[in-house]
Amino acid sequence: MGLDMYLTKKSYVKNWDHMKPEQKHTITVKKGGKKRTDIDPKRISHIVEEVAYWRKFNALHGWFVNECADGTDDCKEMYVSIETLQKITDILKQVKNVIDKSEKTTKVLQDWDGKDYEVSTYQCEDEVMELLPPTQGFFFGGGEIDDWYRKNVDSTIEIFEGLLQDDNGDYYYEASW
């Protein structure tokens, strides 16, 4: 149980009679090396790829809900434009800069088995709250600006920068909790 988050890319691949051969897509679906006969490539209009997955990056979830769904969090698919991806990438970079400049405190916690582990928290909560605040929810994860938050920021910047290089397809965000 918890917040599972997905960004998918939907690419239009429908072939039409009026298209030149070099414009047409070739689609083959195989299972175990054998072509699936129950799927007719002529009927395929879109290919959907999962381009990103997050677990409990609640700050990003809250941002998408507010930006793309007018604040309504109902686990439905939300369209994400390239401009929106650029906007959140810029915000994530600002958050990264704030975290990089902040002091950190390390504390020792215990896991479910009673084993100690260290976690760092960053002393920049006020600045981050203005940019990309954690979002509370049922099993949404923690609300601290810590190593987990930072790792999510860093990996998401990398993912989004790659996606911004590709202007083909449409992006959609969806979460389940």
pLDDT in tens, 130-158: 999 998 766 787 888 999 999 999 999 99
Q: Could you tell me where the beta strands, DSSP code E, fall in the chain?
A: 4-12, 30-31, 34-35, 46-55, 78-80, 104-110, 116-122, 170-176
Distance CA 51, CA 30 (A): 21
Q: Residue type at 13?
A: V
| Ranges of each domain in the chain | 4-176
Sign of the four-CA dihedral 150, 166, 12, 25: negative
pLDDT in tens, 23-42: 999 999 999 999 999 999 99
